Amino acid sequence: MPHDDFATEPVPGLPEAPPREELILWQGRPATWALAREALAIHWVAAYFAVLAFWRVGVSAADIGWGPALPQALPFLLLGLVAVGLILIVAWVQAKATVYTITTSRVAMRVGAALTLTLNLPFSKIASADLDLKASGTGTIAITTKGETRLSYLVLWPHVRPWKMKHTQPALRAIPEAEKVARILADAAETHISQPVIETRAPATVAAE
């Protein structure tokens, strides 16, 4: 029988149902190929094995000629295909296990294939968000948190801004239509921050004053 690891979630991507006044504005996950390229460096891995194959053929061709030397590239090309295939599988699993959520009051990230966790980032804890937009339309939105918020780079990887290890920045990584999502996030944060905070006090406290 098929088993859904997230069947207990009241709302996909969230550990509990949001309050009635909190609305979900957008949900999404990374694009597999974009995640493999941007986070797992699949193009560099492919290029590495291609260079190895070319080098092996070039060295052998000096002694036996190009024709007989060409088959010697096959082992490196096959290893490269296996490595690229494994990276694509890892990217697919990571993307499948991930749900990014933007609501009217927070950003939530359910991440992790083996160890699943949900990170809640209320707008009051977000200092800024930066968009890294690619020509394909996919992109990464990196979030800078306020104050002393400490996050683990290794636990959140690859859902972080690359190489920001001292001050980890969680990120909505390799998402399609990134510019549109960034606009949704900006509008939601601006609306939330501009809302007045009304403090309710007990009648007895008012009378005492």
Q: Is residue 12 part of a domain?
A: no
Q: Is 39 exposed, middle or buried (0-12, 13-18, 19+ CB in 10 A)?
A: buried
132 and 53 share one domain:
no
Residue type, 33: W
pLDDT of 208 reads 45
pLDDT of 195 reads 60
Contact, 165 vs 153, CB < 8 A?
Answer: yes
Alpha helices in the chain, H assignment, sequence order = 32-38, 42-64, 66-69, 74-97, 153-156, 178-194, 203-208
pLDDT per residue rounded down to tens, the chain (209 residues): 333 444 566 788 888 888 888 999 999 999 999 999 999 999 999 999 999 999 988 888 777 777 777 888 899 999 999 999 999 999 999 999 999 999 999 999 999 877 888 999 999 999 999 999 999 999 999 999 987 778 889 899 999 999 888 889 999 999 999 999 999 999 999 887 766 554 545 554 434 44
pLDDT of 4 reads 46
- Considering its fold, how many domains does the chain have in total? 2
143 and 63 share one domain:
no
The pTM of this model reads 0.82
User: How many angstroms separate the CA atoms of 127 and 189, rounded?
Assistant: 10
User: What backbone phi and psi angles, to 5 degrees, belong to 103?
Assistant: -115, -175
77 and 112 share one domain:
no
Containing domain of residue 66, as a range?
36-92
174 and 121 share one domain:
yes
Q: Is residue 207 part of a domain?
A: no
71 and 142 share one domain:
no
User: How many angstroms separate the CA atoms of 122 and 193, rounded?
Assistant: 11
Q: Is residue 163 part of a domain?
A: yes
84 and 47 share one domain:
yes
88 and 103 share one domain:
no
Q: Is residue 198 part of a domain?
A: no
